[in-house]
Structure 1
Amino acid sequence: MARLRNLTPAEIAEAETLGSSADDWTQVMVSEDFRPGQLRASRLEGRVEIASGARIVSSRVRNYRIGEDSLVEQVTALECRHESAFGNGTPVAAMNECGGRTVRICDLMSAQAAYASAVYRHRPQTVAALERMTESVVRARRSAMGSVGRGCRIVGARFVREMRIGDGATIDGASRLEEGTLAEGAAVGADVKASHFIAAEGARLDNGAIVERCFVGENCILSNGFTAVDSLFFANSHCENGEAASVFAGPFTVSHHKSSLLIAGMFSFFNAGSGANQSNHLFKSGAVHQSVHLRGCKFGSGAYIMSPAIEGPFTIVLGHHSSHHDTSEFPYSYLVEKEERSMLMPGANLTSCGAVRDIEKWAQRDRRRVRRDVVDFAEYNPYVCSGFVAAVNTLHALAEADPDAGSYNHRKVVIKANMLRRGIGLYNKAVVASMGAMLARGASAPDADGSGRWLDIAGQYITKRAVDEILDAVDAGSIRTFAELDDRFRAFDARYDDYAHSYAENLLASLLGHRPSAQEIAEAVEAGANAHAAMRRTTDADRQRDCSPDMAVGYGLDSDSETEIMADYSAVRGLE
């Protein structure tokens, strides 16, 4: 804020004529170009600083700095009643209601940092170091004065207390905001109640959302009465109407239905159907259980899971499941309820046009500017490809153990023999497509070793080796800030294609029994393209079925001909 000064006696007199008053005018500091007309019908208490062009109208303001060209109008109370860190340092009991994975949030926290804090509890030294990073942010943010950045608009709000409000942020009609941070461009709308929270750049809380002890990440939306407590939401998540409790919501977590509950779990690129529900309390040890729904999982209407449980990436869940299944090694599957049992259809989602559509739309809908969270969108990647390979090995092992069985029990799910055989074929084709796509990108580079296990760290594909090296550096004190930590994750992401190429080359070597030649790599790329084309023919056929005339029921309501009915159907569905 530019140099400030006290008001002159004439300015004070004019301000009072315009209906304003102050506890102590000597505690009111204004810009050099201040005009009394910027202050109308308002009450100033404690220390108030008013920058150039800022206006305060019909509001009570206490212990606040108001930035340039900002407007505070019709606000019952914009006040800082005590020293605050503005939501920084708030403990959030994410994933587990009993607090075993509590993350202390701050406005510099990325999804990757939060993941390390929540998931790596087997590394107490790492968790302690991350806590120290958070504490340094808390110390830097702590102040006895709240702040409003430049170009902000705060109108029609009731109680705005202990808030740090970034440039360009807006608050319009909020009911109560306490102990929080709104980063640059964040917005809060009508009837919102939020406390002990952080809303990152471009985040939006709107239409009666209730938020308590939450981190709402960049470009996330919580709206239409959505209730969230002890939850973390990252990059482009969008939740309305329903409820979240103790959730780690990775990028693009979506829930739009009033009857849906997300509780005690990890979600990522997730979509909750109407009435989706989970239980985490078995009435023995308390609400200690958790579930993990890996990237791209989708719950159908009425889907239910009793924790603990875990599903593999891109799994479609239909029906009720209470046996504590583990399908983590079977990506792109259907988990369905049949005769009160959990049945798995391995790889079945590889034939669905819905999965292809999801993967394409996520990248298109990423409208972030800061991009603190690393988010990878590659359809063919080492993390999921490793799952394809593991799934093939597991399915072969099951079949070889009992070749004549009609079904197989594996980790609390039933796999029919015909589904097992179909899954092997689907996964093998996906391995070929994945390997070819990764070999076509990046290059062989000795300093980009993609061998070993791959992870999905809250949206980022990365080797376990690289994560361990980063966290070892955190433990050793060579990484001391969130900025340095994020730089290390971004450095890997910048070379992702090379690391993925290395992984694919190692996989091809294991299949050939020797290091592949340039010719063999070229042949693998061509085979991958052919496999991808074959898979797309399958998903395109699935889309055609979804868009077939059989699905035109209820269209062309007042039409008398099949031609008109189909014309209405095509117009509404956007079909050519």
Structure 2
Amino acid sequence: IHQGIMERGSKTTSDSYVLWPARIGPYTLVMGRHYKNMDTSSLPFSYLIESNDESILVPGINLRSVGTIRDAQKWPLRDRRKDPEKLDQVNFNLLSPYTIRKMFEGRELLRKLKSVSGPVSGSYSYNNMVIRGNSLERGIQMYQTGINKFLGNSLIKRLEKTEFTSNSELQKRLKPDHTMGKGEWVDLAGLIAPVKAVNKLLDDIENGVISTVGGVAEAFIRMHDSYYKWEWTWACERIEQEEGKPVKEFTAADIIRITERWKKSVIDLDKMLYEDARKEFTLSSMTGFGIDGGEEIKKLDFEQVRGAFESNGVVSAIQDHIGQKDALGNELIERMSRIKS
């Protein structure tokens, strides 16, 4: 039996082929025909492209694809369940401890490949795939950008709507309320949860603490409802690792520095998405329009069907997002600036 896994958010293009067994990491786009077994699970948000019978991996590039954002927006909208009590607990978050952990893995993996093969290598081999040198460098940068964005999001959420008069108050707020959330997270058919929480559920079933299907369903609901509380526990641990010190030693200056880094990552990523969206409005994209006229008719026909670039919903959302996040970051920086050392 040949079995393969396409993790959440992954897609295949027309006429694509993947030889099983294989594992494709989250939010990866597979193009072409791939005749070797491969595993990209530690390199999420990638393109897997076939060229001259070679499998070319472009790590992290899907983070800047407007198609990825469009998918993330449409999946929740397609959830037409009306009952307030959902039987399936589905987390639609694009960035989560599950995907960000893989970005950490991907960043370290690419750094290791670079270290082993040398920084000037033109290409790198990994799991029957080829990673070009420039793609590796860009992949490290893209994963770092995604990591900065997620950790900054979690930090800002943790500190929102709270005034602090001292660093000790700040440190107290930064301390997680729960121990659950540390370590690895998994995707249980849409439910994103810590492995420890899943193992506890299994232990409770084996020990008879939970003995009914309803009890299992309630446990899944509790996991889903606890996501954001547990997310901060995980994010806090990662922030400490990135900063090289525990949050009990953080000061307002640390928060300002992390927030500035977050702002840059968010805005840089949004600008990349904006430029990617522009590609959908180039002359080549209009080729199939205006069957009975010249260039002007073609352009008008295209705009009637697809709309103008400036008024496109995704483009407008990106522009609004840049302004909102910039203001959000500035507000936190201003609050931190009022804390006396």
User: Above 0.5 in TM-score?
Assistant: yes
- What pairs with 1:309-328 in structure 2 (closer than 5 Å)? 309-328=22-41
Give the match for residue 155 of structure 2: 439
Measured after TM superposition, the shift of residue 458 of structure 1 is 0.6
Partner of 1:515: 246
Q: Indicate if the aligned counterparts of 2:176 and 2:236 stay in contact, CA closer than 8 A.
A: no
> Does residue 97 of structure 2 align to residue 382 of structure 1?
yes
| 1:547-562 to 2 correspondences below 5 Å | 547-560=281-294, 562=295
Give the equivalent residue in structure 2 for 1:497: 228
- Asked whether 1:346 is paired with 2:79, we answer no
For the 8 Å contact 1:437–1:529, the answer to whether it is kept is no
For the residue of structure 2 that corresponds to 1:323, the secondary structure is coil
Query: What pairs with 1:205-220 in structure 2 (closer than 5 Å)?
Result: none
Query: CA separation in 2, counterparts of 1:498 and 1:311?
Result: 29
Q: Give the 3 Å change call, closer, same or farther, for CA 321–570 of structure 1 in structure 2.
A: same
Is 2:305 the counterpart of 1:572? yes
Q: Find the partner of 1:452 among 183, 208, 214.
A: 183
Deviations 1:142-179 (A, max 9, x none): xxxxxxxxxxxxxxxxxxxxxxxxxxxxxxxxxxxxxx
Shift of residue 523, structure 1, vs aligned partner:
4.1
Is residue 308 from structure 1 mapped to residue 21 from structure 2 by the alignment?
A: yes
- Deviation digits for residues 301-354 of structure 1 (CA, Å, limit 9, x no counterpart): 101111100011001001111211011000000111122121111111112110
Partners of 1:442 and 1:498 within 8 A in 2:
no
1:342 alignment partner, SS class:
strand
- In the TM superposition, residue 480 of structure 1 has moved relative to its aligned partner by 1.2
- Mapped partners of 1:366, 1:459: distance in 2: 12
Report the CA distance shift for 1:480/1:367 in structure 2 as closer, same or farther (over 3 A).
same
Query: In structure 2, which of residues 47, 67, 73 is the aligned counterpart of residue 334 of structure 1?
Result: 47
Q: Deviations over 1:395-417 (max 9, x none)?
A: 00111012143222112211111
Q: TM-score, normalised by structure 1?
A: 0.48
Aligned to 1:331, what secondary structure does the other structure show?
A: coil
Does the 8 Å CA contact 2:178/2:229 hold for their aligned counterparts?
no
How far off is 1:473 after superposition?
A: 0.7
Equivalence map 1:409-428=2 (5 Å): 409-428=125-144
After superposition, what is the alpha-carbon deviation per residue over 1:497-545, rounded to whole angstroms, capped at 9, x for unaligned? 1211121111110111111326234543453243122111101111111
* Residue in 1 that maps onto 2:72: 359
Question: How many angstroms apart in 2 are the aligned matches of 1:358 and 1:391?
Answer: 22
Identity of aligned residues (%): 30
Matched length: 288
Coordinate RMSD, CA, aligned: 1.7
* 1:91-139: CA deviation from partner (whole Å, max 9, x where unpaired): xxxxxxxxxxxxxxxxxxxxxxxxxxxxxxxxxxxxxxxxxxxxxxxxx
Structure 2 match to 1:395: 110
Q: In the aligned structure 2, how far is the partner of 1:518 from the partner of 1:498?
A: 22
Query: Could you list the runs of 5+ residues in structure 2 that have no partner in the other structure?
Result: 160-174, 312-341
Question: Is 2:209 the counterpart of 1:478?
Answer: yes
AA paired with 2:114? Answer: A
2:280 match: 546
Tell me the residue number matched to 2:325. Answer: none
Name the SS of the counterpart of 1:441 in structure 2.
Answer: helix
How far apart in 2 are the matches of 1:526 and 1:486? 41
- Aligned partners of 2:291, 2:79: CA distance in 1, in Å? 37
| Aligned counterpart, 2:267 | 533
Provide the rounded CA distance (Å) in 1 between the counterparts of 2:256 and 2:202.
37
CA distance in 2 between counterparts of 1:529 and 1:490 reads: 33
CA contact (8 A) 1:298 1:316 kept: yes
Contact 1:448 1:495 in 2 (8 A): no
For structure 1, the residue ranges without an aligned partner over 5 or more in a row are: 1-287
Displacement, 1:364? 1.5
Give the TM-score, by structure 2 length: 0.80
Write the letter of the residue equivalent to 1:564. I
Change (3 A) 1:568 1:427: same
Question: 1: CA distance between counterparts of 2:22 and 2:10?
Answer: 13
| Higher RCO structure (Cα 8 Å, ≥6 apart) | 2
Structure 2 Cα separation of the partners of residues 503 and 417 of structure 1: 32
- Provide, for residues 17-57 of structure 1, a one-character-per-residue CA deviation record: whole Å limited to 9, x for no partner: xxxxxxxxxxxxxxxxxxxxxxxxxxxxxxxxxxxxxxxxx
The one of 85, 106, 124 aligned to 1:408: 124
Deviation at 1:469, TM superposition (A): 0.7
Pair member with larger Rg: 1
**Alpha-carbon distance in structure 2 between the residues aligned to 1:573 and 1:459:** 32
Check whether the contact 1:442–1:497 (CA below 8 A) recurs between aligned residues.
no
Secondary structure, in 3 states, of the residue corresponding to 1:558? coil
Q: Which amino acid aligns with 1:457?
A: L
Amino acid at match of 1:363: P
**2:105 counterpart of 1:373:** no
For residue 429 of structure 1, the aligned residue among 140, 145, 158 is: 145
Partner of 2:172: none
